[in-house]
Amino acid sequence: MPTQPPLRVVQWATGAVGRYALRSVLSRAEFELAGVLVYDPDKVGMDAGELVGMPPAGVCCTDDVERIMALDADCVLHMPLPASYFGRDQTSDVETICALLASGKNVITTTGFVYPRSYGPGVVERLEQACKKGGSSLHGTGINPGFMSDFLPLALTGLSSRVDHIYVRESSDFRGHPSRQIVVDLVGFTRSAKDYTAAIRPYRAFQRSLFAESVQLVADALDVRLDEVEESDEFELATEEFEISAGLVREGTVCASRWVFSGLVRGRPFMTVECVYKADSTRVRRWPDPGFAIHIEGVPQMTVTVDEVSHGLAAAAARAVNNVPALCAAPPGIRTMLDLPVATGRHTVTRH
């Protein structure tokens, strides 16, 4: 049988998640790296392989968006910081994604869009029109949302005869997270309580829209009509000074936060997603230890726990990269996890 030509992939952004994705693209024979977009001026002109500690790939990084748009490529792994980091609403992300789709490239993004329908018919229409123009498809994914708060709960309900309430909890340790942009600027750790309260507003809006997608997707898949998605959040202050990869956490500054998103039906929660973020879980005793938990109340009752995901950034990147072949083979349009076959990982045999 003739072998299929490799899929040409563009890596859009090379931050904490993007670097993992880029390594995966470079190491897999079914992919060919078509281009790399970077935001850091120091990365411009660097060979993509050397950027991530691999042999030269023969593809240089660029910050020229139009050059990337003009490339002949099958798929773009779109992994920039969310628009809220720059103080903008999601419109700018929609515009970029629509431009990529209209240029004929499939797009997998980690900036949301797990279930674009939750943003209303206006956003869906814009995305669908771009897909139609370019003959392309869009898929939003990640580890949470994109897997833990939507894919796994839905899979578990396949064992249910009745579902009363779905509860998902993420507890993440940011001690080793390398990005100061994420840990400090976006999540808000190391800030004073006053600065945190003022700076967190754009991130709060992003978080609410992000997890509302998961809650709405699960509810719609189970034919449950939600009245609203409610959000609440709180934070914890450090009682001592300690160091993390992204910087110094001083005593009295924010070192943890807890977010709760509830999809309500007649005032009662049908699905609840709790997200706990800790600058260092060994220094923050309040709230659960790192890991994931899913509890389904109904018939039967079910609880599933994931005690540890050792490299959450790598997992988020793998979830995106593993979906590239399926998305490229899918018909044009918005494709949620319900529309694509289950993406599995790669098995590598190490010889000693």
- For the chain, the structural domain boundaries read 7-142+314-334, 151-308
What is the pLDDT confidence band of residue 89, given thresholds at 50, 70 and 90? low
Whether pLDDT at 83 is above 80: no
Residue 87 has a pLDDT of: 66
Residue 159 has a pLDDT of: 97
Pairing of strands 31-37, 333-334: unpaired
Name residue 61's beta-bridge partners.
36
Helix/strand/coil for 235: strand
- CA neighbor of 227 nearest in space, from 182, 266, 279: 266
Pull the structure tokens for residue 144. Answer: 């949470």
End-to-end CA distance of the chain: 33
Beta sheet of 31-37, edge-to-edge order:
61-62, 31-37, 7-12, 75-78, 106-109, 137-140, 333-334
Peptide bond into 331 cis (omega under 30): no
Give the mean pLDDT of 120-131: 97
Give the mean pLDDT of 151-177: 96
Q: Which stretches of the chain are assigned E, i.e. beta strand?
A: 7-12, 31-37, 61-62, 75-78, 106-109, 137-140, 162-173, 228-237, 242-244, 247-249, 254-265, 268-278, 291-299, 302-306, 333-334
Whether pLDDT at 347 is above 60: no
- Report the percent of the chain where pLDDT is more than 70: 96
**Nearby residues of 5 by Cβ (< 8 Å), 6 or more positions away:** none
Give the mean pLDDT of 302-307: 96
Phi then psi for residue 235, to 5 deg, are -140, 165
Helix/strand/coil for 345: coil
Phi-psi category of 287—alpha, beta or left, where left has phi over 0 and alpha has psi -120 to 50?
left
- Report the percent of the chain where pLDDT is more than 90: 88
Asked whether the beta carbons of 245 and 184 are under 8 A apart, the reply is no
**Nearby residues of 116 by Cβ (< 8 Å), 6 or more positions away:** 123, 124, 127, 138, 140, 213, 334
Identify how many contiguous H helices and E strands the chain contains and give both numbers. Answer: 11, 15
Give the mean pLDDT of 47-56: 97
Pull the structure tokens for residue 23. Answer: 């390594």
Give the CATH class of 7-142+314-334.
Answer: alpha beta
Q: How far apart are CA 35 and CA 8, in angstroms?
A: 9
Q: How far apart are CA 277 and CA 284, in angstroms?
A: 10
Whether pLDDT at 242 is above 90: yes
Most distant CA atoms of the chain, gap in Å: 65
pTM of the model: 0.94
Give the mean pLDDT of 43-51: 98
